[in-house]
């Protein structure tokens, strides 16, 4: 009777949790990219599985502690039950976790493949070079380059250069570093990748929501690591085209073609 109640209470708690969780993010940022949405779905599965497992284990521990505490009525040297093992039970509690983690494994591989897939023909390519302590974003086809100001003042945390991306289009990020290991992290995309000197790594991001997102270096890279921040601004493809046009017109750093005499003079 008492146990039946407990089981029903646990089932109710689990079900209401699942109900609440539709649309929940459990602390994750609202994903602003297609890849981030896939990661969020996986996260929710892991989170629900984790909460259910934790509730069961906590429930068992709480039950043991409360139900099987020594009471005032027990004699001083009272001893508990003397059972030492229960093979069928032990097999059950070994096999069930194996089934759970095998399931989680296949889900996680599926999501990882989705998140790290690179399109054969991306809409845009941006070369990202990390250095101590800043970022260089180069748009080779558009002839645009954005570089960090040298870092060194305390106001710089959370500031930094702007990486402008068109929404709804797939951008290939080609990432490298020219000194030590950094990591390119945009929490809004739920994604980071290490920038390792001597290696080039590529991934795609397909932003879905216009807006400004903060980014940071996530791998310790020395003195000004905390100040190696940047922003990602996602705009409509039209605004993006206008932005690249204005940038290549004014950019003297890395023009796509040789500047005309007028531009060079300006």
Partner 1 sequence: MSTAAAAARREHSGVVSWLTSTDHKKIGVLYCVTAFAFFLVGGTLAGMMRLELADPGRAFFEPGTYNGLFTIHGTVMIFLFVAPFGSGLANYLIPLQIGAPDMAFPRLNLMSYWLFTSGGCLILLSGVASAGGGAQMGWYAYPPLSAGRMSPGVGPDIWILGLGLVAVAAVMTAVNIVTTVFLYRAPGMTMWRLPIFTWNMVIVSILGLVAFPPALAGFALLFLERRMGGLAFAPAAGGDPVIFQHLFWFLGHPEVYILILPFFGVITEIIPVFSRKPLFGYTGFVLATLAIGALSTGVWAHHMFTTGAVDNPFFAAMTLLIAVPTGVKFFNWTGSMWGGKIVFPTAMLFSIGFLLNFLIGGVTGVMLAAPAIDFHAADSYFLVAHFHYTMMGGAVFGIFAAIYFWYPKMTGRMLRERMGKAVFALMFIGFNVTFWPQFEAGLRGMPRRVVDYPANAGYETPNLLSSLGYVVMAVGVLFFLADLWVSKRKPVEAGDDPWDGYSLEWATTSPPPEHNFDAIPPIRSERPAFDLHHEGADG
* Residues 82 to 111 in contact with partner 1, rule: CB under 8 A: 82-86, 89-90, 93-94, 97-98, 101, 104-105, 107-109, 111
* Smallest separation, CB 226 to partner 1 (Å): 4
By CB under 8 A, residue 190 contacts partner 1: yes
Which 143-172 positions form the footprint of partner 1 (CB under 8 A)? Answer: 154, 157-158
Q: Which is nearer to partner 1, 147 or 193 (CB)?
A: 193
Report the DSSP beta bridge partners of residue 229: 216
By CB under 8 A, residue 43 contacts partner 1: yes
Identify the three-state secondary structure at position 140: coil
Instruction: Specify whether the CB–CB gap between 226 and 156 falls below 8 A.
Output: no
Per rule CB under 8 A, count of chain residues that contact partner 1: 87
Buried b (16+ CB within 10 A) or exposed e, 53-85: eeeeeeeeeeeeeeeeeeeeeeeeeeeeeeeee
By CB under 8 A, residue 187 contacts partner 1: yes
By CB under 8 A, residue 18 contacts partner 1: no
Cα 187 from Cα 204, distance rounded (Å): 15
Cα 143 from Cα 94, distance rounded (Å): 58
Q: Which is nearer to partner 1, 1 or 98 (CB)?
A: 98
By CB under 8 A, residue 46 contacts partner 1: yes
15 Cβ contact partners less than 8 Å away, ≥ 6 residues apart: none
Report the DSSP beta bridge partners of residue 197: 177
Identify the three-state secondary structure at position 46: helix
* Smallest separation, CB 257 to partner 1 (Å): 32
Q: Which is nearer to partner 1, 144 or 156 (CB)?
A: 156
Instruction: Specify whether the CB–CB gap between 210 and 167 falls below 8 A.
Output: yes
Q: Which is nearer to partner 1, 47 or 144 (CB)?
A: 47
Considering only the stretches 6-14, 15-23, 197-205, 251-259, report the one whose residues sit in contact with partner 1 under the rule CB under 8 A: 197-205
* Smallest separation, CB 259 to partner 1 (Å): 32
Considering only the stretches 47-55, 139-147, 204-212, 257-265, report the one whose residues sit in contact with partner 1 under the rule CB under 8 A: 47-55
The residue from 34, 172, 225, 231 that contacts partner 1 (CB under 8 A) is 225
Cα 240 from Cα 105, distance rounded (Å): 39
Handedness of CA 71, 74, 75, 81 (dihedral sign): negative
Query: Closest by alpha carbon to 224, among 127, 150, 162, 163?
Result: 150
Q: Which is nearer to partner 1, 85 or 238 (CB)?
A: 85
What's the token pair of residue 129?
């070079």
By CB under 8 A, residue 173 contacts partner 1: no
């Amino acid at each position: 009777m008492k146990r039946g109640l407990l089981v029903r209470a646990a089932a109710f708690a689990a079900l209401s949790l699942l109900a609440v969780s539709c649309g929940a993010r459990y602390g994750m940022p609202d994903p602003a990219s297609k890849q981030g949405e896939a990661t969020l779905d996986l996260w929710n599965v892991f989170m629900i599985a984790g909460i259910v497992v934790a509730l069961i284990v906590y429930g068992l521990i709480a039950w043991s502690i409360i139900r099987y505490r020594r009471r005032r009525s027990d004699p001083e040297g009272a001893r508990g039950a003397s059972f030492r093992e229960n093979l069928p039970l032990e097999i059950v509690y070994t096999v069930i976790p194996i089934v759970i983690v095998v399931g989680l494994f296949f889900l996680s591989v599926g999501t990882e493949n989705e998140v790290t897939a690179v399109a054969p023909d991306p809409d845009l390519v941006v070369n990202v070079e990390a250095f101590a302590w800043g970022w260089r974003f180069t748009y080779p086809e558009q002839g645009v380059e954005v570089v960090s100001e040298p870092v060194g003042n305390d106001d710089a945390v959370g500031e930094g250069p702007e990486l402008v991306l068109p929404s709804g289009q797939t951008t290939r990020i080609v990432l490298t570093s020219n000194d030590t290991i950094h990591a390119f992290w945009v929490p809004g995309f739920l994604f980071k990748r290490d920038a390792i000197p001597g290696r080039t790594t590529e991934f795609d991001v397909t932003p879905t929501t216009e807006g400004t997102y903060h980014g940071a270096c996530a791998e310790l890279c020395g003195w000004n690591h905390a100040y190696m921040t940047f922003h990602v601004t996602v705009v409509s493809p039209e605004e993006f085209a206008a932005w690249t046009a204005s940038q290549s017109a004014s950019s003297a750093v890395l023009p796509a073609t040789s500047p005309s005499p007028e531009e060079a003079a300006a």
